Amino acid sequence: MTAYRLKDASEASWSSGGMTRRLSSFLDIGPGRPSCSPYVLGVLEGEGVGPEVIGAALGVLAALDGPKFDIRMGGAIGHKAEALDGKLTPDIASFCDDIFSAGGVILAGPGGGRFVYDLRRRFDLFCKIVPLLVSNELAEQNRLKERFLKDVDIVLLRENCSGLYQGEAAVEDHASEGRRVTHTFAYSEREVRRIVQPAAGIAASRRGKLTVVVKDGGLPAISDLWRDCATAAAQAVGIKCSFANIDLAAYQMIQEPRNLDVIVAPNLFGDVLADLGAVLIGGRGVSFSGNFAGDGTAVYQTNHGSAFDLAGQDRANPVGQIFSLAMLLRESFGLFEEAALIENAVASVWREGWRTVDLGGVGNRIVGCAQMGELVAASVAKLGKVRRIAV
Protein backbone atom coordinates (compact mmCIF):
# COMPACT_ATOMS: atom_id res chain seq x y z
CA MET A 1 0.00 0.00 0.00
CA THR A 2 2.66 2.40 -1.14
CA ALA A 3 0.41 5.44 -1.23
CA TYR A 4 -0.06 5.25 2.54
CA ARG A 5 3.62 5.50 3.45
CA LEU A 6 4.76 8.88 4.72
CA LYS A 7 7.91 10.91 4.91
CA ASP A 8 6.28 13.11 7.49
CA ALA A 9 2.82 13.77 8.85
CA SER A 10 2.08 16.62 6.46
CA GLU A 11 2.10 14.16 3.56
CA ALA A 12 -0.69 11.97 4.94
CA SER A 13 -3.23 11.41 2.21
CA TRP A 14 -5.53 8.89 0.63
CA SER A 15 -4.27 10.00 -2.75
CA SER A 16 -1.17 8.97 -4.65
CA GLY A 17 -1.98 11.89 -6.94
CA GLY A 18 -0.66 14.57 -4.63
CA MET A 19 -3.55 15.50 -2.34
CA THR A 20 -2.34 16.34 1.17
CA ARG A 21 -5.57 17.52 2.79
CA ARG A 22 -8.07 15.40 4.65
CA LEU A 23 -10.91 14.43 2.35
CA SER A 24 -13.46 15.69 4.83
CA SER A 25 -11.82 19.13 4.85
CA PHE A 26 -13.57 19.82 1.53
CA LEU A 27 -16.95 19.64 3.23
CA ASP A 28 -18.47 22.90 4.43
CA ILE A 29 -18.26 21.86 8.07
CA GLY A 30 -18.11 23.67 11.36
CA PRO A 31 -15.33 23.54 13.98
CA GLY A 32 -14.99 19.75 13.83
CA ARG A 33 -13.47 17.51 16.48
CA PRO A 34 -10.98 18.34 19.24
CA SER A 35 -7.30 18.51 18.32
CA CYS A 36 -5.87 17.10 21.53
CA SER A 37 -6.34 13.97 23.65
CA PRO A 38 -8.20 12.36 25.22
CA TYR A 39 -10.19 11.86 22.04
CA VAL A 40 -13.77 10.74 22.58
CA LEU A 41 -14.60 7.61 20.61
CA GLY A 42 -18.04 6.04 20.67
CA VAL A 43 -18.10 2.38 19.65
CA LEU A 44 -21.06 0.36 18.38
CA GLU A 45 -20.03 -3.28 18.11
CA GLY A 46 -22.83 -4.25 15.77
CA GLU A 47 -24.09 -7.77 15.17
CA GLY A 48 -22.96 -10.90 13.40
CA VAL A 49 -19.19 -10.57 12.99
CA GLY A 50 -19.36 -7.01 14.32
CA PRO A 51 -18.00 -7.71 17.82
CA GLU A 52 -15.12 -9.70 16.32
CA VAL A 53 -13.96 -7.07 13.82
CA ILE A 54 -14.52 -4.22 16.27
CA GLY A 55 -12.51 -6.12 18.89
CA ALA A 56 -9.63 -6.46 16.44
CA ALA A 57 -9.75 -2.75 15.58
CA LEU A 58 -9.74 -1.71 19.24
CA GLY A 59 -6.74 -3.97 19.81
CA VAL A 60 -4.91 -2.09 17.07
CA LEU A 61 -5.92 1.23 18.60
CA ALA A 62 -4.50 0.12 21.95
CA ALA A 63 -1.14 -0.57 20.28
CA LEU A 64 -0.68 3.11 19.41
CA ASP A 65 1.75 4.92 21.68
CA GLY A 66 0.91 8.56 22.25
CA PRO A 67 -2.66 9.84 21.93
CA LYS A 68 -5.15 8.95 24.64
CA PHE A 69 -8.70 7.89 23.90
CA ASP A 70 -11.87 8.03 25.93
CA ILE A 71 -13.62 4.94 24.57
CA ARG A 72 -17.34 4.66 25.28
CA MET A 73 -19.28 1.55 24.33
CA GLY A 74 -22.83 1.78 23.01
CA GLY A 75 -25.64 -0.77 22.93
CA ALA A 76 -27.20 -3.09 20.39
CA ILE A 77 -27.83 -2.15 16.76
CA GLY A 78 -29.26 -4.02 13.82
CA HIS A 79 -31.98 -6.64 13.52
CA LYS A 80 -32.27 -7.60 17.20
CA ALA A 81 -32.44 -3.99 18.34
CA GLU A 82 -34.91 -3.17 15.59
CA ALA A 83 -37.21 -6.00 16.64
CA LEU A 84 -37.17 -4.84 20.25
CA ASP A 85 -37.41 -1.09 20.02
CA GLY A 86 -37.59 0.36 16.54
CA LYS A 87 -35.01 0.95 13.83
CA LEU A 88 -32.72 3.55 15.39
CA THR A 89 -33.45 2.87 19.05
CA PRO A 90 -33.80 5.78 21.49
CA ASP A 91 -30.86 4.43 23.50
CA ILE A 92 -28.55 4.43 20.50
CA ALA A 93 -29.75 7.86 19.34
CA SER A 94 -29.06 9.22 22.83
CA PHE A 95 -25.65 7.54 22.93
CA CYS A 96 -24.67 9.11 19.61
CA ASP A 97 -25.96 12.50 20.74
CA ASP A 98 -23.76 12.30 23.82
CA ILE A 99 -20.69 11.30 21.82
CA PHE A 100 -21.14 14.07 19.29
CA SER A 101 -21.85 16.65 22.01
CA ALA A 102 -18.55 15.69 23.64
CA GLY A 103 -16.71 16.32 20.36
CA GLY A 104 -16.34 12.64 19.59
CA VAL A 105 -17.09 10.43 16.62
CA ILE A 106 -18.50 6.93 16.16
CA LEU A 107 -16.78 3.74 15.06
CA ALA A 108 -19.56 1.37 14.05
CA GLY A 109 -19.52 -2.34 13.40
CA PRO A 110 -21.96 -3.80 10.87
CA GLY A 111 -25.65 -3.65 11.70
CA GLY A 112 -28.55 -4.72 9.49
CA GLY A 113 -32.10 -3.54 8.96
CA ARG A 114 -32.79 0.17 8.70
CA PHE A 115 -30.15 1.14 11.26
CA VAL A 116 -27.57 2.80 8.99
CA TYR A 117 -30.18 4.60 6.90
CA ASP A 118 -32.01 6.00 9.92
CA LEU A 119 -28.73 6.92 11.61
CA ARG A 120 -27.70 8.92 8.57
CA ARG A 121 -31.04 10.70 8.40
CA ARG A 122 -31.18 11.38 12.16
CA PHE A 123 -27.75 13.06 12.19
CA ASP A 124 -27.78 14.38 8.60
CA LEU A 125 -24.73 12.33 7.61
CA PHE A 126 -25.26 13.32 3.99
CA CYS A 127 -21.80 12.56 2.62
CA LYS A 128 -20.29 9.09 2.50
CA ILE A 129 -16.66 8.95 1.39
CA VAL A 130 -15.37 5.60 0.13
CA PRO A 131 -11.62 5.41 -0.66
CA LEU A 132 -10.79 2.75 -3.26
CA LEU A 133 -7.01 2.47 -3.31
CA VAL A 134 -5.51 -0.73 -4.71
CA SER A 135 -2.93 -2.39 -2.48
CA ASN A 136 0.27 -3.64 -4.07
CA GLU A 137 0.34 -6.43 -1.51
CA LEU A 138 -2.98 -7.88 -2.70
CA ALA A 139 -2.62 -7.27 -6.42
CA GLU A 140 -1.54 -10.82 -7.31
CA GLN A 141 -4.58 -12.30 -5.57
CA ASN A 142 -7.13 -9.93 -7.06
CA ARG A 143 -9.84 -11.41 -9.28
CA LEU A 144 -8.84 -8.87 -11.93
CA LYS A 145 -5.54 -8.87 -13.79
CA GLU A 146 -2.78 -7.08 -11.94
CA ARG A 147 -1.64 -4.95 -14.87
CA PHE A 148 -5.06 -3.30 -15.09
CA LEU A 149 -5.07 -2.40 -11.39
CA LYS A 150 -1.73 -0.61 -11.18
CA ASP A 151 -2.12 2.93 -9.77
CA VAL A 152 -5.89 2.63 -9.30
CA ASP A 153 -6.85 5.30 -6.77
CA ILE A 154 -10.52 6.31 -6.66
CA VAL A 155 -12.52 8.37 -4.19
CA LEU A 156 -16.26 7.75 -4.29
CA LEU A 157 -18.68 10.20 -2.70
CA ARG A 158 -22.19 8.89 -2.12
CA GLU A 159 -25.18 11.04 -1.17
CA ASN A 160 -26.66 9.51 1.99
CA CYS A 161 -29.76 11.38 3.13
CA SER A 162 -32.07 11.54 0.10
CA GLY A 163 -32.91 9.43 -2.90
CA LEU A 164 -34.54 6.02 -3.07
CA TYR A 165 -33.29 4.74 0.30
CA GLN A 166 -34.76 7.72 2.14
CA GLY A 167 -38.09 7.76 0.34
CA GLU A 168 -41.60 7.07 1.62
CA ALA A 169 -43.52 3.86 0.94
CA ALA A 170 -47.25 3.18 0.98
CA VAL A 171 -48.84 -0.27 0.74
CA GLU A 172 -52.34 -0.91 -0.59
CA ASP A 173 -54.34 -4.09 -1.20
CA HIS A 174 -56.13 -4.32 -4.54
CA ALA A 175 -58.73 -6.92 -5.36
CA SER A 176 -57.35 -7.59 -8.84
CA GLU A 177 -53.67 -6.70 -8.45
CA GLY A 178 -52.97 -7.87 -4.94
CA ARG A 179 -50.57 -5.91 -2.79
CA ARG A 180 -49.33 -2.70 -4.41
CA VAL A 181 -46.39 -0.67 -3.10
CA THR A 182 -45.87 2.97 -3.98
CA HIS A 183 -42.46 4.44 -3.18
CA THR A 184 -41.69 8.13 -3.63
CA PHE A 185 -38.44 10.02 -3.20
CA ALA A 186 -36.96 13.37 -4.14
CA TYR A 187 -33.76 15.38 -4.52
CA SER A 188 -33.57 19.12 -3.93
CA GLU A 189 -31.01 21.47 -5.42
CA ARG A 190 -29.61 22.12 -1.93
CA GLU A 191 -29.14 18.41 -1.30
CA VAL A 192 -27.34 17.86 -4.58
CA ARG A 193 -25.15 20.94 -4.32
CA ARG A 194 -23.85 20.05 -0.89
CA ILE A 195 -22.50 16.71 -2.15
CA VAL A 196 -21.17 17.75 -5.58
CA GLN A 197 -19.29 20.75 -4.21
CA PRO A 198 -16.90 18.75 -1.98
CA ALA A 199 -16.57 16.18 -4.75
CA ALA A 200 -15.42 18.92 -7.11
CA GLY A 201 -13.03 20.28 -4.48
CA ILE A 202 -11.45 16.87 -3.93
CA ALA A 203 -11.14 16.33 -7.68
CA ALA A 204 -9.48 19.72 -8.13
CA SER A 205 -6.90 18.81 -5.48
CA ARG A 206 -6.08 15.53 -7.25
CA ARG A 207 -6.12 14.94 -11.01
CA GLY A 208 -8.98 17.29 -11.85
CA LYS A 209 -11.24 14.45 -13.01
CA LEU A 210 -14.78 14.34 -11.65
CA THR A 211 -17.30 11.73 -12.81
CA VAL A 212 -20.95 12.33 -11.96
CA VAL A 213 -23.26 9.32 -12.04
CA VAL A 214 -26.74 9.79 -13.50
CA LYS A 215 -29.38 7.85 -15.47
CA ASP A 216 -30.55 10.14 -18.23
CA GLY A 217 -33.22 7.98 -19.83
CA GLY A 218 -34.61 6.40 -16.67
CA LEU A 219 -34.51 9.47 -14.39
CA PRO A 220 -34.27 12.46 -16.73
CA ALA A 221 -35.41 15.23 -14.37
CA ILE A 222 -33.22 14.10 -11.47
CA SER A 223 -30.30 13.58 -13.85
CA ASP A 224 -30.73 17.13 -15.18
CA LEU A 225 -30.62 18.45 -11.61
CA TRP A 226 -27.39 16.58 -10.89
CA ARG A 227 -25.90 17.74 -14.20
CA ASP A 228 -26.66 21.41 -13.54
CA CYS A 229 -25.40 21.37 -9.94
CA ALA A 230 -22.25 19.40 -10.75
CA THR A 231 -21.36 21.55 -13.74
CA ALA A 232 -21.59 24.69 -11.60
CA ALA A 233 -19.52 23.11 -8.81
CA ALA A 234 -16.83 22.01 -11.24
CA GLN A 235 -16.65 25.41 -12.90
CA ALA A 236 -16.28 27.07 -9.50
CA VAL A 237 -13.02 25.19 -8.85
CA GLY A 238 -11.72 25.36 -12.42
CA ILE A 239 -12.24 21.78 -13.56
CA LYS A 240 -14.54 20.00 -15.97
CA CYS A 241 -16.77 17.10 -15.03
CA SER A 242 -17.97 14.17 -17.07
CA PHE A 243 -21.24 12.30 -16.72
CA ALA A 244 -21.84 8.57 -16.85
CA ASN A 245 -25.07 6.62 -16.62
CA ILE A 246 -24.95 4.13 -13.78
CA ASP A 247 -24.64 1.10 -16.06
CA LEU A 248 -21.71 2.66 -17.92
CA ALA A 249 -20.11 3.80 -14.66
CA ALA A 250 -20.25 0.23 -13.33
CA TYR A 251 -18.66 -1.03 -16.55
CA GLN A 252 -15.92 1.60 -16.43
CA MET A 253 -15.09 0.80 -12.82
CA ILE A 254 -14.16 -2.76 -13.78
CA GLN A 255 -13.00 -2.26 -17.37
CA GLU A 256 -11.02 1.00 -17.03
CA PRO A 257 -10.59 1.84 -13.32
CA ARG A 258 -7.37 3.79 -13.90
CA ASN A 259 -9.35 6.36 -15.87
CA LEU A 260 -11.46 7.19 -12.82
CA ASP A 261 -10.45 9.60 -10.06
CA VAL A 262 -13.32 11.14 -8.08
CA ILE A 263 -16.86 9.83 -8.48
CA VAL A 264 -19.99 11.39 -7.00
CA ALA A 265 -23.31 9.56 -7.09
CA PRO A 266 -26.87 9.54 -5.75
CA ASN A 267 -27.65 7.24 -2.84
CA LEU A 268 -28.58 3.99 -4.60
CA PHE A 269 -26.03 4.37 -7.41
CA GLY A 270 -23.27 5.13 -4.90
CA ASP A 271 -24.17 2.05 -2.87
CA VAL A 272 -23.88 -0.21 -5.91
CA LEU A 273 -20.58 1.33 -7.04
CA ALA A 274 -19.03 1.10 -3.57
CA ASP A 275 -19.64 -2.64 -3.44
CA LEU A 276 -18.45 -3.07 -7.01
CA GLY A 277 -15.35 -1.04 -6.18
CA ALA A 278 -14.53 -3.51 -3.42
CA VAL A 279 -13.62 -5.97 -6.19
CA LEU A 280 -10.76 -3.64 -7.14
CA ILE A 281 -9.23 -3.52 -3.68
CA GLY A 282 -9.46 -7.20 -2.79
CA GLY A 283 -12.98 -7.77 -1.54
CA ARG A 284 -15.67 -6.43 0.77
CA GLY A 285 -13.69 -7.51 3.81
CA VAL A 286 -11.17 -4.71 3.27
CA SER A 287 -13.65 -2.00 2.20
CA PHE A 288 -14.59 0.90 4.48
CA SER A 289 -15.96 4.44 4.57
CA GLY A 290 -16.72 7.55 6.57
CA ASN A 291 -20.12 9.28 6.84
CA PHE A 292 -20.07 13.03 7.46
CA ALA A 293 -22.48 15.80 8.43
CA GLY A 294 -22.07 19.53 7.99
CA ASP A 295 -20.99 20.15 11.60
CA GLY A 296 -18.09 17.67 11.72
CA THR A 297 -20.24 14.83 13.04
CA ALA A 298 -18.94 11.54 11.62
CA VAL A 299 -19.55 7.79 11.72
CA TYR A 300 -16.99 5.34 10.34
CA GLN A 301 -17.83 1.83 9.22
CA THR A 302 -16.97 -1.12 7.01
CA ASN A 303 -18.80 -1.49 3.71
CA HIS A 304 -19.71 -5.11 4.33
CA GLY A 305 -22.64 -6.61 6.18
CA SER A 306 -22.97 -8.51 9.42
CA ALA A 307 -22.10 -11.89 7.85
CA PHE A 308 -24.18 -13.93 10.27
CA ASP A 309 -22.97 -17.10 8.55
CA LEU A 310 -19.43 -16.36 9.78
CA ALA A 311 -20.30 -15.07 13.25
CA GLY A 312 -18.50 -16.82 16.09
CA GLN A 313 -16.24 -18.81 13.75
CA ASP A 314 -13.20 -16.48 13.84
CA ARG A 315 -13.26 -16.32 10.02
CA ALA A 316 -14.12 -12.67 9.41
CA ASN A 317 -11.62 -10.24 7.90
CA PRO A 318 -11.07 -7.35 10.36
CA VAL A 319 -9.01 -5.20 7.98
CA GLY A 320 -11.93 -3.16 6.66
CA GLN A 321 -12.82 -2.23 10.24
CA ILE A 322 -9.16 -1.47 11.00
CA PHE A 323 -8.94 0.75 7.94
CA SER A 324 -12.13 2.55 9.01
CA LEU A 325 -10.38 3.26 12.32
CA ALA A 326 -7.36 4.69 10.49
CA MET A 327 -9.67 6.86 8.39
CA LEU A 328 -11.33 8.08 11.60
CA LEU A 329 -8.00 9.05 13.15
CA ARG A 330 -6.98 11.03 10.09
CA GLU A 331 -10.23 12.65 9.09
CA SER A 332 -11.80 13.54 12.44
CA PHE A 333 -8.86 13.82 14.85
CA GLY A 334 -6.08 14.92 12.50
CA LEU A 335 -3.84 12.06 13.67
CA PHE A 336 -2.03 11.67 10.35
CA GLU A 337 0.97 9.74 11.61
CA GLU A 338 -1.11 7.29 13.63
CA ALA A 339 -3.45 6.65 10.70
CA ALA A 340 -0.54 6.00 8.35
CA LEU A 341 1.11 3.79 10.94
CA ILE A 342 -1.94 1.52 11.04
CA GLU A 343 -2.17 1.37 7.25
CA ASN A 344 1.53 0.59 6.95
CA ALA A 345 1.17 -2.08 9.63
CA VAL A 346 -1.55 -3.85 7.63
CA ALA A 347 0.61 -3.67 4.50
CA SER A 348 3.55 -5.14 6.44
CA VAL A 349 1.45 -8.05 7.69
CA TRP A 350 0.21 -8.72 4.16
CA ARG A 351 3.76 -8.61 2.78
CA GLU A 352 4.72 -11.27 5.29
CA GLY A 353 2.09 -13.51 3.75
CA TRP A 354 -0.60 -13.43 6.44
CA ARG A 355 -4.18 -13.54 5.16
CA THR A 356 -7.69 -14.23 6.37
CA VAL A 357 -9.57 -16.95 4.53
CA ASP A 358 -11.48 -14.57 2.23
CA LEU A 359 -8.23 -13.33 0.69
CA GLY A 360 -6.48 -16.69 0.63
CA GLY A 361 -3.76 -16.98 -1.99
CA VAL A 362 -1.24 -19.69 -2.85
CA GLY A 363 1.61 -19.87 -0.35
CA ASN A 364 0.03 -17.53 2.17
CA ARG A 365 -0.55 -18.30 5.84
CA ILE A 366 -4.24 -18.25 6.74
CA VAL A 367 -5.25 -16.92 10.15
CA GLY A 368 -8.49 -16.05 11.89
CA CYS A 369 -9.98 -12.66 12.68
CA ALA A 370 -8.49 -12.45 16.17
CA GLN A 371 -4.97 -13.40 15.10
CA MET A 372 -5.04 -11.01 12.16
CA GLY A 373 -5.93 -8.22 14.57
CA GLU A 374 -3.10 -9.27 16.86
CA LEU A 375 -0.62 -9.35 13.98
CA VAL A 376 -1.58 -5.84 12.89
CA ALA A 377 -1.40 -4.56 16.48
CA ALA A 378 2.07 -6.08 16.88
CA SER A 379 3.14 -4.49 13.59
CA VAL A 380 1.83 -1.11 14.77
CA ALA A 381 3.90 -1.40 17.93
CA LYS A 382 7.00 -2.48 16.00
CA LEU A 383 6.77 0.20 13.32
CA GLY A 384 5.99 2.84 15.94
CA LYS A 385 9.12 1.92 17.87
CA VAL A 386 11.26 2.03 14.72
CA ARG A 387 9.91 5.46 13.85
CA ARG A 388 10.59 6.83 17.34
CA ILE A 389 14.18 5.58 17.18
CA ALA A 390 14.62 7.15 13.73
CA VAL A 391 13.33 10.49 14.95
pLDDT at position 337 over 90: yes
What pLDDT does 140 receive? 79
pLDDT at position 32 over 60: no
Can you give the length of the chain in residues?
Answer: 391
What pLDDT does 26 receive? 84
Confidence band for 24, pLDDT divided at 50, 70 and 90: confident
Per-residue pLDDT averaged across 325-337, rounded? 95
Name which of 5-9, 167-171, 199-203, 205-209 the model is least confident about: 5-9
The domains found in the chain, sorted by start residue, are 32-131+283-391 (3.40.718.10), 143-281 (3.40.718.10)
Per-residue pLDDT averaged across 110-120, rounded? 93
Helix 319-331 crosses helix 369-390 at what angle (to 10 degrees)?
40
Q: State residue 69 phi and psi, 5-degree precision.
A: -125, 135
Per-residue pLDDT averaged across 167-179, rounded? 94
pLDDT at position 35 over 70: no
Amino acid occupying residue 22: R
Per-residue pLDDT averaged across 351-361, rounded? 93
- Per-residue pLDDT of 116-136, as tens digits, reads 999 999 999 999 999 999 998
Q: 29 CB contacts (<8 Å, ≥6 apart)?
A: 292, 293, 294, 295, 296
Name which of 11-15, 91-95, 340-344, 379-383 the model is least confident about: 11-15
pLDDT at position 86 over 90: no
What pLDDT does 180 receive? 94
What pLDDT does 215 receive? 98
Per-residue pLDDT averaged across 368-372, rounded? 98
pLDDT at position 16 over 50: no
CB 336 within 8 A of CB 12: yes
- Per-residue pLDDT of 184-211, as tens digits, reads 999 999 999 999 999 999 999 999 999 9
- Per-residue pLDDT of 231-279, as tens digits, reads 999 999 999 999 999 999 999 999 999 999 999 999 999 999 999 999 9
Confidence band for 390, pLDDT divided at 50, 70 and 90: low
What pLDDT does 210 receive? 98
What pLDDT does 28 receive? 62
223-228: long-range contacts at Cβ-Cβ below 8 A with a sequence spacing of 24 or more? 225/187, 225/189, 225/192, 226/187, 226/192, 226/196, 226/266
Confidence band for 15, pLDDT divided at 50, 70 and 90: very low
What pLDDT does 104 receive? 96
- The percentage of the chain sitting over the pLDDT mark of 90, rounded to a whole number, equals 78
What pLDDT does 145 receive? 86
| Helical H segments across 29-157, by residue range | 50-62, 79-85, 90-101, 115-122
Instruction: Map residue 312 onto helix, strand or coil.
Output: coil
- The answer to whether the peptide bond before residue 38 is cis (omega within 30 degrees of 0) is yes
Tell me the sheet residues that pair with 288.
302
pLDDT at position 66 over 50: yes
Task: Give the global pTM.
Answer: 0.92
Amino acid occupying residue 158: R
Amino acid occupying residue 377: A
Name which of 10-19, 26-35, 73-82, 312-321 the model is least confident about: 10-19
- Per-residue pLDDT of 281-322, as tens digits, reads 999 999 999 999 988 899 999 999 999 999 999 999 999 999
Average pLDDT value over all residues in the chain: 90
Confidence band for 25, pLDDT divided at 50, 70 and 90: confident
What pLDDT does 9 receive? 34
